[in-house]
Chain A
């Protein structure tokens, strides 16, 4: 995170422009591929047309140029394919183009609706989760296919194919670039996608890098966009707060490529500005009295962030919050975290009592953090032998090589 004119933010400013053009065209054409092609042509045209100076309203220029390119392209293909009805509609829509596009380019609410419509289409539950993630990164965040393929360790042609298929499905299956009539359920899918991007960056599930910072920053950027577009939605704010509060600790979470556990982190390296922003966003969200799992998780992260030293952590409160979260989510992963918090608040035996049913159920077989939590509790409870076995299990089940090496180094 650096100043306001960092390269990353300039790249975002460009991508923001591109994203706005794609979103508006996609919504009006109902075809993401056509929108993407027209946007590409408009940006190529800008490269030459702007050589002698950027027009006063670059966004409007790009929007209008892209719209004209789209209409041209449609006329060209329409001459071959027979669909007079669509051509007629498009010609009608193209009539007041200048006025309409001027209005589109200057009317923030309309632009916002276009962006949201595109987000909802990319995150539609009728697309596979990994496809939703790729579509959102490509068309909302504006990453290239190459960047996305690299981030998720998949071959670029495979990813490109998935995107082509998804665009065709959106068009042919009748997924619309609109804010749904009852957005609650669809919004859950949007938040899931954004948080998945963040988590993939925060706790890289595969590969060698411990934290892929760029993915976290993309997710936060998406979270900010979503929060700006839907300021009244408490869980969307909760998601943004959660990501900010987690990301504030990113620098301190590793040293020399090694993961550093929470209790050993140098808290002076935590990003105070991000913590302040995350806490403010969370407070506003909680004031809406519409609790949810992202807000609960953000509240837990905020309690960690607020403790000056590890020993000052308000574990009883954190254990309570995990209890609320467990009631809401019925997730064994939450139970693991609750066991750790209860272990800190009420002693290791109490923590083990929470963990035992999870271990017995086998629901998290092969989930490395489960064994790490078990090992730490066993150690504190005075069972070094059993703890060693659990540490070994944690190491062998970890897919992240940096985490695996650190576990072996500490507990072998």
Chain B
């Protein structure tokens, strides 16, 4: 099954910096995220993943029926925690997904695990 591991961290600048520390940008090969990503890849479970820019750079487009599109500067919702990034993994069951979530190199974060639907017609377009 495919699972999205959604990484939520404090929205504050310090919170963002702390969670993103030792990311792929760092030359240090022992950086936590580098190790984590490599481990997921070597285990054959990694499907994809992205680190997102801070929500203060977000743009929201609101669609309501025939109304003209409404563009706002900022996130969909102002919250204390925001989506820092996500991994998409393919593992046998929820227990395995929980294990991968628990291995992430962050101190202050909540990982929301969402199983992906399968067998949807639109997904045929992905291949």
Contacts and interface: CB of A to CB of B under 8 A. Distances in A.
Interface stretch (B18-26, B61-69, B90-98): B90-98
B94 A174 contact: yes
B106 interface: no
A173 B95 contact: no
A126 B119 contact: no
A196 interface: no
- The binding surface of chain B is classed by DSSP as mixed
A411 B125 CA distance: 76
Interface residues of B, number: 12
Interface in A166-202: 172-176, 178, 180-181, 186
A6 interface: no
B119 A174 contact: no
A82 B119 contact: yes
Contact of B93 (A83, A85, A86, A174): A174
A174 B1 contact: yes
B59 to A, nearest CB: 32
- Most chain B beta carbons < 10 A, residue from A173, A175, A178: A173
A124 B115 CA distance: 16
B87 interface: no
Contact of B95 (A83, A86, A176): A176
A180 to B, nearest CB: 6
Contacts of B97: 174
A181 B121 CA distance: 34
Nearest to B114: A173
A126 B98 contact: yes
Contacts of A176: 92-95
Interface string B98-127: 100000000000000101000101000000
Interface string B1-31: 1010000000000000000000000000000
Contacts of B94: 124, 126, 173-176
Contacts of A126: 94, 98
Interface centre among A172, A174, A178 (most CB of B within 10 A): A174
16 contacts: A82-B119, A85-B119, A86-B119, A126-B94, A173-B94, A173-B115, A174-B93, A174-B94, A174-B97, A175-B95, A176-B92, A176-B93, A176-B94, A178-B93, A180-B95, A181-B95
Interface of B: 1, 3, 92-95, 97-98, 113, 115, 119, 121
Interface of A: 82-83, 85-86, 124, 126, 172-176, 178, 180-181, 186
